[in-house]
A and B are shown apart, each in its own frame.
Chain A
């Protein structure tokens, strides 16, 4: 197991090198220099030169890349041109927000998807089965941003139940021992804040969680249908074991194997969906931050942010592979 993890981590290295070159080259290919973007109307040639010098943009390209790699390895991702804050500290502040959103979305997707798929399979061919099939078909076909707009209209505009912007009301005070707002509120027993953060979280989590929900429901249904006809299930029935025990121990547990793979795969994909969800709901996470940085040509943010997201993405996939190997002893890691 350890050898497998180490090997996978080593495979990460060429990906990271390729990624850093790609992002670095892309930044240089963008139209308009960051110096001009930063200065705006004050972009006289002299000012531009001064800013270029300050950010090291006047050095040869290979030196710039070497500097960039050296700094990145030591954990220095540069300073955001727009906010003048260090990129690393912004990531530290924003990543917990995205994490919280992705986690909530996954809780929603798993919590609703597995029962939906399970009961659809148990009542195979019934109206509930057809309804669940319909839900999962619509779920994978509806764009996140359209779903988000509908949710906004129904729950915010029409019913006035939930907020649509941000992750906490500006009037509520909250200490941040962890940076994950929901957890912070719990730890400091700040129930007003907890409720407020939760209310801000519901709509984005549903919007982001619907695609994984649909896919999880579908895979669960297929897996349960598959496992139900296995010989060991028939044997258990013949032995006269109580049906609930068979359902739980023989069927559900074995059906969870393919489901766990798909959950892992979908977790990686959430990062992409987070860009749209965070933008629609103005949720201050990594996704909306990078999308804004691209519009504002905030080079250090794009550089550091994309690299960070990609590393997270690859690590999530590694974690999925490892946990799958632990869950399924039949898999031989080679």
Chain B
């Protein structure tokens, strides 16, 4: 350990500490990445929720009257982002695309998080054969490249609308990641002195798990969930791009829009640029927040506000 490190550790020990969350919040507020990320993500969420108010037309409305013979008219005062090859308003479709990405992204991460959380918690806390069984299954799932696994699940054509299949597919690819994370986290917490103390005074097992272990194991999960949202939005768009998006091709979905724009790339590249930029900004926002949260919640940096 260098002198500087020792000094900073001493400083950290002497510094007044609020709760972990208050400290994290203070660090987040000073992180420019977190601020930019929050702006992007908030914009995305607001646009997603209030899409009908922000969009100028219905995303499926077709206007042939202003569609010239050659594809495709670029931005105009009537259509801010131009029109696509069938006469949709691209601006409205990008806006509604945010809504779809938001819903599908959040639901699929919730699916992966909740199932992975339960499996990881059981594996970590129960241990033994249960642990081995669950973790081997997770290993098998991790051995299949994520996108391939998602394609495979959508290809099963379960008797539910395609949009739910996509949520499940993207969610399932997240299960092993959360399960491993939570198990590792719990194993680390289980050996802690405060858990031993709780056990010694006769606290019951569920109370130890929910009251003592989980609250301390949760912060890496929050970081991972934020980053998983970024990946989920890319994966959903990737499925759409590969032709595995919602059944109705008129559904405004960013990946789907990009795929059809490919055919008109030389005539109107903006058709690909708008939905593409929308994906990049959203994903960038979640990545920035995830990174900032990781730094803010790092216990090693505590006290260095």
Contacts and interface: CB of A to CB of B under 8 A. Distances in A.
Interface of A: 14-15, 18-19, 22, 26, 29-31, 137-138, 140-146, 149-150, 152-153, 157, 229-231, 269, 271-273, 275-276, 279, 290-291, 294-295, 302, 306, 309-310, 313-314
B284 A137 contact: yes
B41 interface: no
A259 B2 CA distance: 23
B239 to A, nearest CB: 10
A22 B4 contact: no
Given A19-B140, A150-B276, A145 B287 contact: no
A309 B280 contact: no
Contacts of B261: 149
Interface of B: 2, 4, 136-137, 139-140, 143-148, 151-152, 155-157, 230, 234, 237-238, 241-243, 255, 258-259, 261-262, 265-266, 269, 272, 276, 279-280, 283-284, 287-288
B276 to A, nearest CB: 4
B2 A231 contact: yes
B137 A229 contact: no
B179 to A, nearest CB: 15
Say what secondary structure dominates the interface of chain B. Answer: helix
A275 B143 CA distance: 15
Contacts of A153: 265-266, 269, 272
12 contacts: A19-B140, A26-B156, A137-B284, A142-B279, A143-B276, A146-B279, A272-B146, A272-B148, A275-B148, A276-B242, A309-B144, A314-B143
A149 B272 contact: yes
Given A18-B137, A31-B157, A143-B238, A306 B4 contact: no
Contact of B147 (A15, A19, A142, A276): A276
Contacts of A294: 151-152, 155
Contacts of B269: 153, 157
Contact of A309 (B148, B243, B279): B148
